[in-house]
Amino acid sequence: MAYDIVVLQADLFPAFAAYMDDHLRDNGIGNTSLFQPLAAADCRFDVDRAERFSSALCASTDGPGWRRAWVAMNNAGAVVGHVDLRDTPLPYTRHRCLLGMGVDRHHRGAGLGRQLLETATKWAIGRGWIDWIDLQVISSNAPAVRLYEKAGFVQTGSTSDLFRFDQRSVDSNSMSLRLKPSPDA
Ligand SMILES: CC(C)(COP(=O)(O)OP(=O)(O)OC[C@H]1O[C@@H](n2cnc3c(N)ncnc32)[C@H](O)[C@@H]1OP(=O)(O)O)[C@@H](O)C(=O)NCCC(=O)NCCS
């Protein structure tokens, strides 16, 4: 199936919000690995979360609180995947950003995750001032860990028992992709 990957803009936000709400409800259900540290009761893209996401899309990348996102559309015009980059909420880290992504359960295994990751990476390289893409992935989320490793991300750490919810303990890995050599190299 052919997909178009486009910048998430205001006109697409309602369709994106509906996709995200459905996507989050898939967290750890059936064949889908747990991919968000969210208790079952919180797996919703509620109004507050949507508002924060939407506002950050409008924030300038010159300051804090920015986010940029891309969505994959199928040939029926439905949103079936997403990737987003956002700033790191720590001082003196303008040279880094954080990545999040997902693909609708019916469209996985067709290369869309790889294409979305390439889109975000290309955008980050094009900025010129982003040297690293960082992410957090739940350690047991093998499809995502493998996708990131294949794209060149390297595991930089792992925290056992980082989250506890729904009577479970969840480990998390940190992974990073270096886009440019360090200034000291
Ligand atoms: C992780 C996810 C985004 C992958 O998307 P996808 O479109 O299915 O991935 P692709 O088809 O592009 O696969 C690219 C590579 O990822 C890896 N991969 C994807 N699915 C995999 C699976 N089920 N098991 C092992 N590796 C897998 C493979 O290395 C694959 O390359 P290959 O086909 O050449 O072997 C998707 O499974 C998903 O949305 N999962 C739920 C949400 C999520 O985990 N988000 C990431 C949170 S950190």
Residue nearest to atom 34 of ligand 1 (CA): 111
d(CA 99, CA 87): 9
Predicted local distance difference test score (pLDDT) of residue 182? 73
Distance 80 CA to ligand 1 centre (A): 14
d(CA 14, CA 39): 24
Distance 72 CA to ligand 1 centre (A): 15
Ligand 1 atom index nearest CA of 115: 12
Q: 60-65 long-range CB contacts below 8 Å, 24 or more apart?
A: 61/87, 61/127, 64/89
Residue nearest to atom 17 of ligand 1 (CA): 147
> Which of 20, 79, 108, 148 is the pocket-test mutation for ligand 1 (most atoms within 8 Å of CB)?
108
Q: What secondary structure letter does DSSP report for 10? A: G
Q: Domains in the chain and their CATH numbers?
A: 4-178 (3.40.630.30)
Q: Could you tell me the pTM of the whole model?
A: 0.96
Predicted local distance difference test score (pLDDT) of residue 185? 64
Q: What secondary structure letter does DSSP report for 183? A: T
Q: Is 168 in the pocket of ligand 1 (CB under 6 A)?
A: no
pLDDT, block means (10 residues), the chain with 185 residues: 93 97 96 97 97 97 97 96 97 97 97 98 98 98 98 98 98 97 71
